[in-house]
Structure 1
Amino acid sequence: MSRRAAGLGVVALVALLIAFIVMPPWPIVLLDANTLAYAVCHRIPSHSFSIAGHQLPLCARCTGIYLSALATLAALATVRPKARTFPGGPVLGLFLLFIAVMGVDGLNSLLTLIPGAPSAYEPRNWLRLLTGAFDGVAMGGILFPLFNMTVWCDGRDVPAVTGRILAGLALLALAISAVVLSEAPWLLWPLAVLSGLGVLTLVGLLNVALVVIATRREGSFRTLAELAPFVVYGLLLTFVELGAINLLRHWLESSLGVVVG
């Protein structure tokens, strides 16, 4: 066994042990989406969808964001592998619009939780889901080229998202929203697992990029095999971050009576 392989095995073992300690049960093994969601989402029942009597791990808005972002990243990795150029002005403008609309709807929803505060309209979970889904398209469309330009030495100098691709991603966001809104009982576990995977993927990709930058290895990888050790470090950092947030939130809610979210 090479030193690199041995080192990778040690790191993976350490990551596993730390994950068991700070965030049991280990989400990769048991797909504990609720544990992952607890670190990034308020999970207010009235703002969430329930299927077969079980609340989904993420609120309606976060469900749209993370499912759509995960689908966007998967789609772009298929049709535009290693594309590292940001979208052109019109597409980027639509991304900003998606983010702004989600922000406005989120602010309106927040105002309804404040006694006496005015709001423009009554919030609806389907609207939270839909605006979140389009925000997820924007997040995925921005994160994809950002990650590629940070990591790959042979990245492709083409826009990650074109107008035609954006149209397809918009249809994908609508399809995801329709699937969630159907609330079919058999969708409970697939949606829960994909929600947790979405959280892990988005936070994980950011952390992998940060590790690459911190070690001054930007633009030095050609294959996933070369990147693998940094993926492990990024996932380790992700587990520690999410676990720390979970512990802090639990302490605030149980000890101080502070309701986070």
Structure 2
Amino acid sequence: MTTDDRIRDADQTVAQGVDPRSDAAVSTDDLAGDLTGDPAVMELYARTADRYDRLNTLISFGTSNWYRRRTILSLKLPKDATLVDVGCGTGVLTLAAQRFLPDSTSIVGVDPCSEMRALAEGAGVRDVRPGSFSHIPVDDSSRDAVVSGYAIRYAEDLDEAFREIRRVLRPGGRLVLLEMMVPRSPRGHRAMEVMIKGVGSRVFAIACGSWSVRDLLRHFWDSISSFAPRDVVLGKLKDAGFTEIEYRPAGGLLGEFRATAPVG
């Protein structure tokens, strides 16, 4: 069975009213993050929280939720694995973990924005806590996986963030950080800036019915264009002691930083 087949089967299970935590459920074998250092950015996410999922759907042409679900399946975790989603936003990635890890005793969504946390809880995330990359509110060595969707760029100190992730992961635990990376070429960089910060910010603001979305997209471009280059991120993961470190391009601006906590 392919990854896509398993996603479709899980969707049908939920649609039929089967509890995703039950034995009948199918199992596998989110732009807020560490924003506490910038109140203006926190306020921007608060203003756009109720438009956030719609914006993601429009920008990704409807593939955003599918991609997050596929991320959870790609980890190939046991169905009782424990996991924390840092910068969970409205909870899309956390909900995917709940769906595909039905026997887990603890799946936690963490976000510093109260409006985002409220939406995550309303969507069905069972355990949502305030926190960030500088303070992940779970015990030492308690997680089989740490995931994050488009939030690591908000970490004020990557070294501190990776130490905190190491703290909560069990030996051999998996890390996946989804992030948007700007094109390296000047021409590609300029083209994407015009598309996102210029034309796109206006078009999607109209489509979402809120000029706050325009402000969010303009901030979005500024945040991804100022984020550390991929080689720097990979180097800091290595300095933090992670193993099996890699960056996987995922199409367009999408990419994934992956690593494993050392054993022993």
TM-score, structure 1 normalization: 0.24
More helix as a share of residues: 1
Which has the larger Rg? 1
Normalised by the length of structure 2, the TM-score is 0.24
More strand by share: 2
